[in-house]
Amino acid sequence: MLAASYVSHLANERRLSTHTCGNYSRDISVLLYSAGETPLDQLRVYDIRRFVAQRHGKGFSGKSLARMLSAWRGFYRYLMRNHGYTSNPCAGVRAPRSPRPLPRTLTPDEAARLLDFNPGGDPMAMRDKAMFELCYSSGLRLAELTNLRSQDLDLYDETVRVAGKGGKTRIVPVGAAARRALHAWLALRETLARPGATALFLSRHGNDISSRSIAQRLKSQAVRQGIDSGIHPHVLRHSFASHVLQSSGDLRAVQEMLGHASISTTQVYTHLDFQHLAKVYDVAHPRAKKSRAGMTDHAPDGDSPKDER
């Protein structure tokens, strides 16, 4: 089947993650369902526009439709390159625009409160502190944190090697607080690891920890520290980016540390920084409230890049 062949190509040749391949597979299934009995090589631009309009009418967001169209375009490029198709009916079709929400971040005080807990002698609390400190210290995605191995850490060099999206590897710094927590966890990890466990962070049973478990543990920790229960590991990544950018102003350095292919993805954090400055201005300037009355913040116009944050 052409769809299965394409997903296999994505996994084996482009080395995309299982999660990403699953998203592509679902999006292409939507195309096949929408096409019905019409062969793929007979679909035209107006068919694709109709499919998109149908999904939009069912409540799909512009972001979801843009991702879906991207998957369809890629599928047709593959069919043209490998199966003799002569045109890509998805080329030039654009998804409806939708507001681009700004990523949620913690304030520096909130981040400190979230991470400022004493694990005592509890092995799982020691692991949690090491995970959360590292995630915030180095701006890791949840999948990157889950997939870390002990050999990826170089605490002498104060860095961690991260396998990011598309198999791209980057080296990022590890801060002092994270290093202290990691030293404590590494001393304990070897006593807990079961045969075959390779992850840096382990479950209470000594096996590789799951992404779901990390997310649940962080949410529980946030509640204990009196922070909104909606905290997710990606909030720590967003907070890392925002706080480093506020302090340094170096957008390129933040892009490198986050592993963004496009700087346009990183630029969203400059808008967060502006919001922070605007709040300071509103409080500090004697005529700010009148001069800014009626103004509202909007995300920048334009198509959202592929969501790689």
Instruction: Give Cβ neighbours of residue 299 (< 8 Å, ≥ 6 apart).
Output: 99, 100, 101, 102, 268, 271
Residues 141, 179, 189, 243: which is the catalytic one? 141
| Residue 67 falls in the annotated catalytic set | no
Residues 67, 237, 238, 243: which is the catalytic one? 237
Instruction: Give Cβ neighbours of residue 165 (< 8 Å, ≥ 6 apart).
Output: 17, 20, 141, 259, 261, 308
Residues 9, 73, 113, 234: which is the catalytic one? 234
User: How is residue 46 written in tokens?
Assistant: 């107006």
| Residue 56 falls in the annotated catalytic set | no
| Residue 127 falls in the annotated catalytic set | no
Residues 49, 73, 161, 165: which is the catalytic one? 165
| Residue 83 falls in the annotated catalytic set | no
CA distance 97 to 95: 6
| Residue 19 falls in the annotated catalytic set | no
Backbone phi, then psi, for 287, in 5-degree steps?
Answer: -115, 15
What string of DSSP letters covers 209-233?
PPHHHHHHHHHHHHHHTT--TT--H
| Residue 85 falls in the annotated catalytic set | no
β-pair partners for 74: none
Q: Which residues participate in catalysis according to the annotation?
A: 141, 165, 234, 237, 260, 269
